[in-house]
């Protein structure tokens, strides 16, 4: 979640009629606090509708009540595999998330294109809002900022890697401190002015 835009679509706002859409969650420990995976069972397999980062103020439980009211703690082998990948990410591993586990119906067409293009930016590199827009055939850096801000799957689609052209990290749904911490975790240094060296831009 990055600069600009409205709130994220919550996992309960778009569901198919007649399906089991009661929401479950699983907490994943991280160095910065718990991450929450929120999912439902619209069919035989779980579909993750949100990845909630440790909030900038408050608790993850409060965020869950706001973003996925009524969700109950649960477990599923597929969700456990995603949790293990997230734990690997925080251990410094370069992980690849299976996209089919995540509910892409929550994304607009432009947002999905932006997030898939973002997924080409590897760990240890960043991209500016403007450069990401150009890769999408657009000059609308603000639209890219909105797409990142409404990203329901941070870490999976690493919107923290989208920064300002100046090298300043910019805003982030988990707070600017968490955005910087995630980038440092990925090996990206900051200078004394709080900017990223241009050599780390993709």
Catalytic residues: 159
Of 150, 172, 179, 174, the closest CA to residue 58 belongs to: 174
CA distance 180 to 163: 10
Rg of the chain on CA atoms, in Å: 16
Give yes or no for a contact between 64 and 14, defined as CB atoms under 8 angstroms apart: no
Which of 178, 106, 151 minimizes the C-alpha distance to 3? Answer: 151
């Amino acid at each position: 979640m990055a600069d600009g835009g409205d709130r994220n679509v919550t996992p309960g706002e778009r569901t198919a009629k007649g399906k089991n859409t009661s929401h479950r969650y699983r907490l994943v420990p991280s160095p910065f606090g718990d991450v929450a995976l929120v999912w439902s069972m619209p069919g035989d397999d779980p579909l993750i509708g949100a990845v909630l980062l440790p909030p900038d103020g408050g608790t993850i439980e409060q965020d869950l009540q706001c973003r996925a009211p009524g969700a109950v703690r649960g477990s599923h082998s597929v969700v456990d595999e995603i949790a293990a990948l997230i734990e690997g990410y925080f251990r410094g591993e370069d992980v690849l998330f299976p996209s089919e586990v995540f509910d892409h119906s929550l994304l607009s067409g432009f947002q999905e294109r932006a997030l898939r293009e973002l997924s080409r930016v590897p760990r240890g590199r960043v991209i500016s809002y403007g450069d990401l827009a150009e890769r999408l055939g657009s000059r609308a850096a603000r639209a890219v900022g909105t797409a990142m801000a409404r990203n329901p799957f941070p870490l999976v689609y690493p919107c923290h890697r989208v920064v300002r052209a100046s090298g300043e990290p910019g805003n982030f749904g988990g707070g600017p401190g968490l955005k910087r911490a995630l980038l440092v975790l990925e090996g990206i240094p900051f200078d004394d002015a709080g900017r990223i060296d241009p050599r780390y831009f993709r």
